[in-house]
Structure 1
């Protein structure tokens, strides 16, 4: 069983914190929420989700996790894109038997900055032996319509969370179903790589051991050595996954499919596992929870939520 019963026990739950995986908005929190002090990174923790509120502090212990990366790369088939900032936030309910449940914000666990696709539409679908695509390509050479962005989005709840893998290397930490939204006026608004039924399934792993740190704070986020809250910080890990498959793009083109074939042929999609990769650099991961959840049984989830709300600026 992994809980937060004492300061010594807190060290063991650092396993939960190496989640620096990909990239929208939370269930109980808004993306623009600003929190005080040590609560600051946990802007979208789903503290008001029923499963979190129901955690009693004995059989089930509630915690918040956030993991970010300033940048990295993702290779999909024959295309490599440099990624911007990514932000993953989750609620975790730790069970007394050592298992855990992931609670994602209702609109998705991941937020990512849009990334620019190298070469734009020219690079993504030109040249082509399809007459309609050839005609489009001829208009793009000096056009602002050439620019295309790719944004990673959650398309299902994370699962298969392994708390031990978080502080080790070369073990999958969590399964993250995502899709990539390709955006450009000529692609329309529904051009995606991956769907809810057939997502890109990321399983990030640490490639090096993160550095460990810990702080203690009052319920409203103010640093206090004797505070009732604690925060574990893991920094500096590079995370990678090269095991995922990538499905074909769908919905591309103003008639929802006209450009699918060109995009897939040029990009090399679908792409089998082993031909794709994700790397996230310098991940920063934090976990927070009550120091002694057993002292507020059966209200640990409610107390955690109250503390989070007390820190909102």
Structure 2
């Protein structure tokens, strides 16, 4: 992905801000982790950006405030914040590659999302020991393409997930065990979220995302009101339910309605995307900027 096609990270951020006025934007050393010292409030969202890695050119923070994930029979919705935070480096062709936080922080932070009807799938029954929650976890580094975000085409945000099924009241002691997931590291739920229009197999119909022009934010840019969608993905079956042999995988599959084929699942994320030059964070921490 050619996000910032320039020679230095500082000029990259300046170029990104300059492009805001255009009709079509083609966006849009003392090693220590970013969280080692406090950042000013305007940069605090980048506290886990791995700026101690000299290859990191940009910092990314994505906050979703309204999410829907329909997988099989589970129609999960939450307005609790879900965040993604990571760095980006660029290869010789200016394709962006995600870099995990170097301080041990997770890239994806998600609250447990309640399953309507709980383990029985009966309205009103999902409370106490009958409650069921799903918490998504990444199985691979995310991908992001700001050009596609702006042009409303292709994959904007790529996520490979597995969804932990658990009961917060009796998690470790429950019959499902602590390692019960829909999907797995080898067979994840693969989302290719777009701000454009999807092309799913039936019975799903095309749906469209939303893009609004970015706003300058320090050396970087912020995209508000982004809606990223995908309804063309398949969902794998359960794994690790009823440890150690997964003998309850068929039960979870029946409850959740998985595996479910492409064209029967939907993901919608209403989100804000923040991206800035990593040197802005470095300098705020008293670190030397890095130029390539």
Smaller-chain TM-score bracket = 0.7 to 0.9
Name the CA shift for 1:15/1:287 in 2 (closer, same or farther; >3 Å).
Answer: farther
Q: 2:131 aligns with which of 135, 147, 152?
A: 147
Alignment length (residue pairs): 251
Name the CA shift for 1:201/1:308 in 2 (closer, same or farther; >3 Å).
Answer: farther
How high is the TM-score relative to the length of structure 1?
A: 0.70
Are residues 1:309 and 2:285 paired?
yes
Q: 1:5 aligns with which of 7, 11, 33?
A: 11
Are residues 1:191 and 2:195 paired?
no
The C-alpha deviation readout for 1:147-203, integer Å capped at 9, x for no partner, is: 1111111111224x4331121224211322111011123221010111111111111
Q: 2:214 aligns with which of 195, 212, 215?
A: 212
CA distance in 1, matches of 2:40, 2:127: 45
CA distance in 1, matches of 2:55, 2:142: 20
Are residues 1:93 and 2:89 paired?
yes
Name the CA shift for 1:259/1:211 in 2 (closer, same or farther; >3 Å).
Answer: same
Structure whose alpha-carbon radius of gyration is higher: 1
CA distance in 2, matches of 1:7, 1:309: 18
CA distance in 1, matches of 2:61, 2:226: 14
Q: 1:175 aligns with which of 146, 153, 158?
A: 158
Determine the structure 2 residue equivalent to 1:225. Answer: none
CA distance in 1, matches of 2:188, 2:72: 15
Q: CA deviation at 1:16?
A: 5.8
Q: Contact 2:61–2:85 at 8 Å: present in 1 too? A: yes
CA distance in 2, matches of 1:110, 1:65: 12
CA distance in 2, matches of 1:90, 1:255: 33
CA distance in 2, matches of 1:96, 1:143: 53
CA distance in 2, matches of 1:40, 1:189: 33
CA distance in 2, matches of 1:143, 1:167: 42
Unaligned runs of 5+ residues in structure 2 are: 196-208, 288-292
CA distance in 1, matches of 2:27, 2:164: 29
Q: 1:251 aligns with which of 240, 243, 246?
A: 240
Determine the structure 2 residue equivalent to 1:165. Answer: 148
CA distance in 2, matches of 1:143, 1:284: 32
How high is the TM-score relative to the length of structure 2?
A: 0.75
Q: CA deviation at 1:101?
A: 2.0
Name the CA shift for 1:177/1:33 in 2 (closer, same or farther; >3 Å).
Answer: farther
State the SS of the aligned residue for 2:48: coil
